[in-house]
Amino acid sequence: MTVLPPELDLLDSSTEKGEPLKITSPLEGATYMLPPWGEVPKVALLTEGSRGRLWWYVDGKYLGNCDPSIPLFWSLSKGSHRIGVTDDSGRSHSVEVSVASWGDGE
């Protein structure tokens, strides 16, 4: 990664003005509950402001990549998780969520 002084920002394509990359689903700080029956729920991973393909990570482990118009889905698992995304421009964003089992009181 090249870091330029502020007066040379115009030379750096990663500082193009526009909407920042932001995860819109799941929301920062969300808590999900695992039901005591049925299949494990899945959450759509969505962003705003992306440039090109998206690469998704959960707890630092690669989950998959997708076009921004087609969501990737993550199967919930109990615990605290950091969900991160990086786009073609190298920009990234992450959120933290928690997942509890129904009746755990967490």
CB 95: neighbour CB atoms within 10 A? Answer: 19
pLDDT confidence bin for 24, thresholds 50/70/90: very high
- Looking at the chain, the whole-number percentage of residues with pLDDT higher than 90 is 75
Mean pLDDT of the chain: 87
pLDDT confidence bin for 94, thresholds 50/70/90: very high
- Mean pLDDT across 56-71: 96
DSSP string for residues in 40-104:
PPEEEEEEES--S-EEEEETTEEEEEE-TTS-EEEE--SEEEEEEEEETTS-EEEEEEEEEETTS
pTM above 0.75, yes or no: yes
Give the pLDDT of residue 15: 44
Q: Identify the three-state secondary structure at position 25.
A: strand
For the chain, which domains are there? 19-101 (2.60.40.10)
- Mean pLDDT across 10-39: 82
What is the largest distance, in Å, between two alpha-carbon atoms of the chain?
58
